[in-house]
DNA sequence: AGGTGATCTAACCAGTGGAAAGATAATCTG
DNA sequence: CAGATTATCTTTCCACTGGTTAGATCACCT
C-alpha cells in the first residue's frame, strides 16, 4: 500500500490556497453565499485555520479585494500601453469585471470587507491613477475621469446583473465599444478621431 | 389600569410593517446584514411569521426590490414631467439611489432576491421605459440610453461606495450635473443646448 | 536535544434561515 | 348563531454559520 497518503498536519501553503478557494466559491455562488467553512472545506482544513490566517471572514474578503485591485491595475496598464487609447482602457475595465467577476463583485461591496485596509487603499489608489489618466488631475480631468469611470463601471455592473437589453448583444467588450463613444472626453495623450463628431450623425455605428 | 395593552395575536397589518422594518434594517446595516429574525423582532413578531408572509428571506427582499422599482419609476416620471430635460431624469436617478439607498442596494443585488419574479419584472420594465425615453427604442436610442443609464448608475454606485474623489464635492446631485454633460446624447424631445458643444472648450463648467 | 513559536484541530457558543406542528382568531356557510 | 374552514402567528426543532478558546502537531533555531 502507498505510504500513508494522509494529509500532513501543516498545509504548507494555506493562505494562497484559501484565497483561490474563496475566489472559486464566489465565482460559483456569489460573494453573499461564500462561507468560511465552505472555503476551508475546499482547501481541506478546518474553518478555524482560515480564521487564523485572515483574522475573520472580512479579512479573507479584504485579501480578495486587494488582489482584485492589483490585477485590475495591471490589466488597465497593459491596455493603456498596448493600445494607447483611452477607450481601450475602458474596454479593459469591463473585460476585467466580466472575466474576474468574483474579484470585481467583492471590490465594489465594501460592506463585505475592510476598505480602509492599507493594502487595499494602496492597490485602489494605483488603479485610480490609471482611470483618471494622471496622478494629479485638475478639475476638468477629474470630472472627465469620473464620467468615464462611471460609464464603464455602470456598464459592467449592469451587464453582470443582466440589466442591459439583449438587443445590445452578448459581448460586453463590444457593447463597450458601441456605448462608450457617447462620452465626449478630450483625450489627454492620444489624437484619435473626435468621439463627439463620430457620435453625431445618428449615433456611433460599431465605432471600430 | 389600561385594558391590557397586550399585543393581539394577529398583527393585522404585518406585511407592510415587515417591509418597513426590512428597509430600516437595510438602511442601517446594509442588505447583507439584514436578518429575518431582526426584522421580525422590530415588527414584534416571530421570525416564522415573516417567513409565512414572504415565503423566505429572498421573498422579503423581492418585495423590497419591487417596491424600489415602483418608487424609482415614479420619481423618474416626476422628473421628466416637471423639468422636461433628460439630464434631470439622470439627476433624479442618482437622487433616488442616495435618498432610498436601502431599496437601491437591494435592487441591484439580484443574487439576494428573485429577479424573475413577475412583480419585479413588471416594475423594472416600467422604469426601463423612462430610462430609454421610449418603449420601443431603435438601435441608436438603445445605445444612447445604455450610455446614459450606465453613467448615472455607475455614478450612483461609486458614490454610495465612497469611490469618487472628494474633490468633486459631497453633493451627488451636483456631481451628476457636472459629470453627466460629458455625455453627448441627441435629446429626443427637448431642444436644449447641445451638450457636446457645451462640453467642448475645457469641459463643462458647472453646467447649470 | 530541547525549547519556542507558528500552524492547525476540536469543541463550543450564539445567531441564522427554514420547516413542521400546533395555537389562535377571523371569516365563511349553514 | 353554531360549526367548520381558513388565515395568521408561535413554538420548537434542525443544520449551518462565524468567531473563540484550549490544546495538538510540527518546523525551526540554538
- Are the Cβ atoms of A155 and B162 closer than 8 angstroms? no
Task: Record the pTM.
Answer: 0.87
pLDDT recorded at residue A188: 52
pLDDT recorded at residue B187: 56
Stretches in chain B below the pLDDT threshold 50? 1-5, 189-208
Nearest by CB: B168 against A146, A154, A200: A146
Q: Which residue is nearest to nucleotide C10 (CA to C1')?
A: A46
For B147-156, the pLDDT digits (tens) are 999 999 999 9
β-partners of residue B183 are A183
- Residue A177: which residues within 8 A CB-CB, separation 6 or more? A87, A91, A206, A207, A208
Q: Which residue is nearest to nucleotide C18 (CA to C1')?
A: B56
Closest C1' nucleotide to A59's CA: D18
Instruction: Please report which residue ranges of B84-134 form alpha helices under DSSP H.
Output: 86-99, 101-107, 118-132
Centroid of chain to Cα A25: 17
Testing the interface with A: which of B150, B159, B170, B178 to mutate, by most A Cβ within 10 A? Answer: B150
Stretches in chain A below the pLDDT threshold 50? 1-5, 189-208
Q: What average pLDDT does chain B have?
A: 87
Nearest by CB: B158 against A32, A149, A204: A149
For A5-58, the pLDDT digits (tens) are 456 756 778 999 999 999 999 999 999 999 999 999 999 999 999 999 999 999
- In whole angstroms, what is the distance from residue A40 CA to residue A19 CA? 10
Q: For residue A113, what is the nearest residue in chain B, using CA coordinates?
A: B32
pLDDT recorded at residue B204: 39
The 10 Å CB-count burial string (b at 16+, else e) for A27-48 is eeebbeebebebbbeebebebe
pLDDT recorded at residue B12: 76
Amino acid at each position: 500500500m502507498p505510504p500513508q497518503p494522509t494529509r500532513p498536519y501543516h498545509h504548507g501553503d494555506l493562505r494562497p490556497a484559501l484565497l483561490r478557494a474563496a475566489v472559486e466559491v464566489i465565482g460559483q455562488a456569489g460573494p453573499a453565499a461564500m462561507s468560511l467553512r465552505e472555503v476551508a472545506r475546499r482547501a481541506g482544513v478546518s474553518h478555524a485555520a482560515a480564521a487564523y490566517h485572515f483574522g475573520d471572514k472580512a479579512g479573507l474578503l479584504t485579501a480578495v479585494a486587494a488582489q482584485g485591485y492589483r490585477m485590475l491595475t495591471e490589466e488597465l496598464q497593459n491596455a493603456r500601453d498596448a493600445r494607447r487609447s483611452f477607450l481601450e482602457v475602458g474596454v479593459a475595465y469591463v473585460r476585467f469585471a466580466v472575466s474576474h467577476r468574483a474579484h470585481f463583485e467583492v471590490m465594489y461591496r465594501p460592506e463585505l470587507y475592510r476598505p480602509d485596509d492599507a493594502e487595499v487603499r494602496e492597490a485602489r489608489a494605483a488603479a485610480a491613477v490609471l482611470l483618471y489618466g494622471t496622478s494629479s488631475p485638475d478639475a476638468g480631468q477629474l470630472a472627465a475621469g469620473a464620467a468615464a469611470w462611471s460609464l464603464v463601471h455602470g456598464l459592467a455592473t449592469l451587464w453582470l446583473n443582466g440589466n442591459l437589453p439583449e438587443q445590445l448583444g452578448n459581448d460586453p467588450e463590444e457593447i463597450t465599444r458601441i456605448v462608450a463613444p457617447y462620452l465626449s472626453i478630450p483625450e489627454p495623450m492620444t489624437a484619435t478621431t473626435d468621439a463627439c463628431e463620430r457620435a453625431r450623425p445618428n449615433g456611433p455605428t460599431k465605432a471600430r
